Amino acid sequence: LDECVVQTCPTCAKTTCSDKMQTCDDPNTGVHSVNDWTCTCPPPAVGSATAKAATCVCDECQEPTQQCAGAKQLCFDPNTDCSNKGDYVCECKAPFTGVATAQPATCEVDECIEKGATCTAVGQICDDPDKTKLDDWQCKCKPPSTGLGVTKPAAQCNLDECVVQACPTCANTTCSDADQTCEDPNTDASSTMDWVCTCKPPAAMNSATAKPATCVCDECATDTVCAGANQTCFDANKVCNTPPDFECECEPPMIGKGATVPAVCSLDECELHSATCLAQQQECFDPDLAKVGDWECLCKPPMTGSATAMPAECVYDECVIQDCPTCANSTCSDAGQECEDLNTAPSSTSDWVCKCPPPSNHSATAKVAECDLDECKDPKKAGQCTENCDPGTLDCGQTCYDPNPTVGSEDDWECQCPPPSTQKTTAGPVMHCEYDECKEKEAVCLAEGQTCHDPDTRTLNTWMCICTLPSTGNATVRPARCLLDECKVQNCPTCANDTCSAVGQECEDPDTVATSTNDWICKCPPPSTHQATAKPAVCEVDECDDPLNNCTANCVTPNTPNCEQTCFDPNTAPASLGDWVCNCPPPTTGKATAQAAMCTVDECVEHGATCTAEGQTCRDTNTSRLNDWECLCKDPAKGSATATAAKCVLDECVENCDTCSKNTCKDEGQTCFDPNTDPASKSDWTCTCPLPSTNSATAKAASCGVDECEKNGWKCTADCTGVLNCAQTCFDPNTTSSSLGDWRCVCQPPSTDFAVAKAAICTVEPCVHDNEPACEQDPDGCEWALLPTPTCKPIPCQHTKEAECLKDTGCEWLVYSGASTTTGTGAISYEVLVPLKPFPAATCDASCACASKTAVYIRVGDGYVNGKDSLTCGACSTTAGVTVDWKEADGSLTVSGVSGDKLAEIVASVVFTTSSKDGAKRHVTWNFGTALDAAAAATACGGVVDLVGGVCVTEKCDYTTNPTCEADPYCDWVGGTTDPCVIAPCVLYPNEKECSKDPDCRYDVGTSPALCKEKPCRAFKGPVECNAEDECMWDGTNTKCVEKECSKFNDDRCQCHAEDRCYWDVRATVPKCVESKFGECPVLDVVLLLDGSGSMSEAFGRHPNGFYAMMEMIRDWAMTLPLTGED
């Protein structure tokens, strides 16, 4: 009996196990063994029970999918119910702590809890940088000292009192403020107050411990200005950081000084030596005061003579001195002879001599000499010597000579050839002067183994040296450079003859100088480039010699490895071609056969240590180039350099670092400047006050003068109204920090008002005009009163708020009964009476979270008049993406498509208008959101306003008698005991435009000023009295008396004929009723001529000029012209 299979026995399992998704097993199927069947839970659940369903246990920690074991963590399942999955917990093993559900836990341990006492025992703090690791805790020094323990031992604390700022023992800016360098010789944190200030060059290297050093700067120690001028340098003020004040002094006996420049030295030596000259009755003169030893003694006239640094030997030359009794004066020169004083001593007189000119040697003392006859002085004879002159030859150099220049010896003169020729002819020229220069120069040529030849003996410097065979060459006036091309000359002992050509090679002589022999070369034919000297060459083919085999084909940028490859041919045999190799230069790698290689190298592998040694990083931007690796500075420092360590710059005014200014200066409106951008120079930035203040401070904001207008100036116009109030300027009369609260708001002319520490109320005397046009054009609202005397005065009661109107004595608020407008100066508009929320100046309150709102809803509620009231959006047409939906049926306006503050701008531009005449209050609600919700109007997302139409006017028609009432154009007399005088209909319309909108009103320009008045026929209230008037007729449809117009009978020909003043016009395309007096008139062209004289620019009554007056009258006249067939 298997109780799991059989279903009909009382003890069988039936569906007990299967209902629980368990398996049934009967361990003993004997018929007497009953109720021993078991239910067993399906994997991964465990559990079984006999004769009943098992209670299954699902321990997720036993399942292979749990993640704790893989993370080497403990697993615990708090709820083993099989329906409760994903709740097992991973727990870290000690000493780590941490748990996580259904995932590995984040295990952490703060080792400083256990180990921190090691650090605190030595006055340090414990730090565990990574709580997921063990044995990485370390001791750190307390600020301002620095240092870090590598492992458990305490840190070695350092305190560089020159670098650390704001510590009691540190130098801070003591040295830098004195422009000195600071050095801490012992940076152990326990060694304090041992920092040293040292003077900077060029000052003497003085130093002092824990205070500024006393620096001495002798400018003469580095002087080159005075020394370069051989002068002495003297520095009276050796204080450092002062302008140059050294002086250059001249060396004795010269005198003179120069401030920072070489001195101008001078000395008048006559002050020392004039006695030497005076002793010889001579004068002393110093021609150059800047030189020494150049003073002179000068002889006094008429004697001449001078001597330097000694008395002169004076000369009394009777040939030179003029106008003396014993002198020659011009006796000799007048005779063409030379004068000579043989004894120039002052005591020797009248001994001068006249000498004949050469070749005569005659002379005479103190008189003219008698001279010999020289035939060559005859120009005709002397001129014959050059008659045969051939330019460039010796012939042109012939001279005339008279061997016996005595009287009686004539025609013995000679023409003599110039040296070296010795030819001559008596009483005539030599036909050809000749000279063979080789007689003199032959030895020059023979010394070089050459022969001398003079091709032209009539001309000098034409001789030449000629080379002997087989060499060739010659040269004029010097030895020749003899040439011997051993490849071309044949049958010489040293020549190639046919040695090269016999083996098919080319012969070349690299040096064809005759003395260079046996240097000819045999060259192999291409492609081989081999050669041999004085013998045939052994020919090979080195393919690297072929320019077509280019190893620089991959060269893009000059001086890069691809441009510096070398070529190598491993086999130069002519039969071995195409095996040449391109090799990259070290340290790059790469080679290629029969083509250019691609060379690469990361230079940071070799040079990176250069950068890291300076705390910088290395970068090789292009591995195909050499020497382009860079060192880059680490943030916050900036800078880079190619192939060397960078010079890093840290501008503490620009960068963001612990010692940087950040916005310290900027927040105070000051400028920041870092005088030393070296990263090691920290906290030396300065804040400088804006002009006119010149204050500054290092590593902090400066204390500046306080101009209170910079903070408070906006208050002068913050809540202003009107042109004058909004043009105020701020002025602080005293900007010192001790003078606060004295800033002023000052009004602009013509107002002279001001206020201290608040906005002023600017006032001017209103309506100060002396003529009507200027008065009526005043934007503040003025009118010209004619009585009792013409004067300009403010228009009363120009209030737009009912409350303001009622406060003004003499004004009253009239509920508006006509159409409204919201634009125009003085226009009637609906007033905001109850501003529960600002309208139309709405704002988007932060509590509304309106940034997420995309629509605004506005509704005219109580008082809404369908068909006459409307809401329009002024900003919607100029705002992109806006959708506008006006529902006239319920008076609601929906604007969508924008969000946030844009919605507030939309509300601010919405305008309410109406053509209703009731003037009743309108209850308007609005809100941001997703639907039109009146309740939301009371929250931060909406608002409510009540609008009512009205106008502020001067209290009018407060008359008690008929004559005074009717005399006022604004009033009508109605009689009675209460308000017998009332405001006339239509007069409250402010202008012609508003007046014309009302069919019962007309604009009367016949009064001054023009006024809106009720049409005349409206005064008759019944049909009888209306029809009794010739110009009026009763309108039964609208139940009022209207003006009689023939056009009203266009549909009734009979009625048109019944009216005496009307005529039925059949000429028109459509027959119509027209005025009788114009019935037969043709179509008119009306031409208007206006005066253009200067008087038209003057005021005309209430009009600013004549043109305005004419235009108003023409406009009124045009209304009566029969342009349409009617009056």
The C-alpha atoms of residue 945 and residue 835 are separated, in whole angstroms, by 5
Q: 871 and 858 in contact (C-beta within 8 Å)? A: yes
Task: State the pLDDT at residue 828.
Answer: 36
User: What pairs with residue 197 in β-bridges?
Assistant: 182, 208
Residue 920 tokens, joined: 């009743």
Report which of residues 357 and 54 the model is more confident about.
54
Q: 175 and 197 in contact (C-beta within 8 Å)? A: yes
Average pLDDT taken over every residue of the chain: 82
Q: 917 and 818 in contact (C-beta within 8 Å)? A: yes
Q: 659 and 672 in contact (C-beta within 8 Å)? A: no
Q: Residues 6 or more apart from 310 whose CB is under 8 A from it?
A: 276, 297
* CB crowding 701-728: b at 16 or more within 10 Å, else e: bbebbbbbbeebbebbeeebeeebbebb
Burial of 216 (C-beta count, 10 Å sphere; 0-12/13-18/19+):
middle
Q: What percent of the chain has pLDDT over 70?
A: 89
Indicate whether 703 pLDDT > 80.
Answer: no
Residue 733's CB is within 10 A of a number of other CB atoms, namely 10
What does the pLDDT look like over 601-659, one tens digit per residue? Answer: 888 888 889 999 988 999 988 887 778 889 999 888 889 999 899 999 988 898 888 88
Alpha helices in 152-220 (DSSP H): 174-177
What does the pLDDT look like over 994-1007, one tens digit per residue? Answer: 788 788 888 887 77
Q: What percent of the chain has pLDDT over 90?
A: 10
What does the pLDDT look like over 737-771, one tens digit per residue? Answer: 667 888 899 998 878 888 999 999 888 777 878 88
Q: Which long-range contacts (CB under 8 A, 24 or more apart) does 711-720 make?
A: 712/743, 712/757, 713/743, 715/745, 715/758, 715/759, 716/745, 716/759, 716/760, 717/759, 718/759, 719/759, 720/759
Task: State the pLDDT at residue 809.
Answer: 75
Residue 844's CB is within 10 A of a number of other CB atoms, namely 21
Indicate whether 582 pLDDT > 90.
Answer: yes
Residue 342 tokens, joined: 């043989």
Task: For 250-318, list the strands marked E by DSSP.
Answer: 257-259, 283-285, 296-298, 306-308
Closest CA to 184 of 213, 158, 202: 158
Cα separation of the two ends of the chain:
129
Task: State the pLDDT at residue 618.
Answer: 93
What does the pLDDT look like over 350-393, one tens digit per residue? Answer: 888 998 877 677 888 888 888 777 788 888 888 888 888 888 88
Task: State the pLDDT at residue 589.
Answer: 82
Task: State the pLDDT at residue 825.
Answer: 30
- Residue 1096 DSSP SS3: helix
Q: Residues 6 or more apart from 466 whose CB is under 8 A from it?
A: 445, 450, 451, 452, 453, 473, 474, 480
Task: State the pLDDT at residue 277.
Answer: 92
Residue 463 tokens, joined: 């001789």
Indicate whether 1110 pLDDT > 90.
Answer: no
Task: State the pLDDT at residue 11.
Answer: 85
Q: How far is CA 872 from CA 7, 156, 913, in A?
A: 85, 79, 8
Confidence of residue 248 (pLDDT cuts 50, 70, 90): very high
Q: 983 and 956 in contact (C-beta within 8 Å)? A: yes
Confidence of residue 720 (pLDDT cuts 50, 70, 90): confident
What φ, ψ does residue 638 adopt, rounded to 5°? -125, 150
Indicate whether 729 pLDDT > 50.
Answer: yes
Task: For 283-351, list the strands marked E by DSSP.
Answer: 283-285, 296-298, 306-308, 338-341
In whole angstroms, what separates CA 276 from the centre of its chain?
Answer: 77
What does the pLDDT look like over 864-890, one tens digit per residue? Answer: 888 877 887 777 777 778 888 888 888
What φ, ψ does residue 377 adopt, rounded to 5°? -80, -10
What does the pLDDT look like over 526-559, one tens digit per residue? Answer: 777 788 898 898 887 878 877 887 888 888 888 7
Q: Region 111-131: what's the mean pLDDT?
A: 84
Confidence of residue 1124 (pLDDT cuts 50, 70, 90): low
Residue 604 tokens, joined: 């940071």
Residue 297 tokens, joined: 């003694």
The C-alpha atoms of residue 99 and residue 95 are separated, in whole angstroms, by 13
The C-alpha atoms of residue 926 and residue 933 are separated, in whole angstroms, by 8
Indicate whether 819 pLDDT > 60.
Answer: no
**pTM for the predicted model, two decimal places:** 0.28
Confidence of residue 521 (pLDDT cuts 50, 70, 90): very high
Task: State the pLDDT at residue 17.
Answer: 92
Task: State the pLDDT at residue 154.
Answer: 65
Whether the ω angle into residue 587 lies within 30 degrees of 0, i.e. cis, is yes
Q: 729 and 712 in contact (C-beta within 8 Å)? A: no
Task: State the pLDDT at residue 297.
Answer: 94
Task: For the chain, state the CA radius of gyration.
Answer: 64
The C-alpha atoms of residue 649 and residue 641 are separated, in whole angstroms, by 12
> Looking up tokens 């014993």, which residue turns up?
326
Task: State the pLDDT at residue 1064.
Answer: 86
